[in-house]
Amino acid sequence: MIAIENISKSFGNKKVLEDVSCEFDKGKINLIIGGSGQGKTVLMKCAVGLFEVDKGKVLYDGRNFSEMTFGERKPIRQEIGMLFQGGALFDSLTVEQNVTFPLKMFTNMTNAEKRDRANFCLHRVNLENVNHLLPSAISGGMKKRVAIARAIAMNPRYLFCDEPNSGLDLKHPFSLTNS
């Protein structure tokens, strides 16, 4: 379970989150719904440690993530997949390199194992034979699917998705179950 307890986050004088609490149960799909500019992305980035909270706690199965050092967070980060709103692909890396990026950071897999995992994840999102293309050579919908493949590459225990359906077309449906 992920518990957000009384977190607040400001940027300069702009308060984005104030005393926000919520729980996300294991094995369930949890949604955060709200208007544009209401702090949904900031909340998610606080939950995964991309933004530090000003006050409050982020707990992963009772582990206080918000009080951990960068190094202490690594085991939890290995359990997290993140799909960013705009995809956040590295323009200078190929599709395969983008998908294997978290595997290089957090695993000791061989290059062959990383390539196999990338191919598996790309197949899951109906992308084949695009491994050596740069993001600039693929469509926006394909970029979103590459970002999804990267988010599931580590077979994460926790998967955070910021606007996961935006930019996807219905021509290439896929399912993320049993990834």
- Neighbouring C-alpha atoms within 13 Å toward the C-beta of 14: 6
Average pLDDT, the chain: 88
pLDDT for residue 24 is more than 80: yes
In CATH terms, the fold of domain 2-71 is Rossmann fold (3.40.50)
Helix axes 140-152, 111-124, angle to 10 degrees: 130
Report the predicted TM-score, pTM, of the whole model to 2 decimal places.
0.81
Query: Which percentage of the chain shows pLDDT scores above 70?
Result: 91
Domain parsing of the chain, residue ranges: 2-71, 82-161
167 Cβ contact list (under 8 Å, min separation 6): 87, 140, 141, 143, 144
Confidence of residue 1 (pLDDT cuts 50, 70, 90): confident
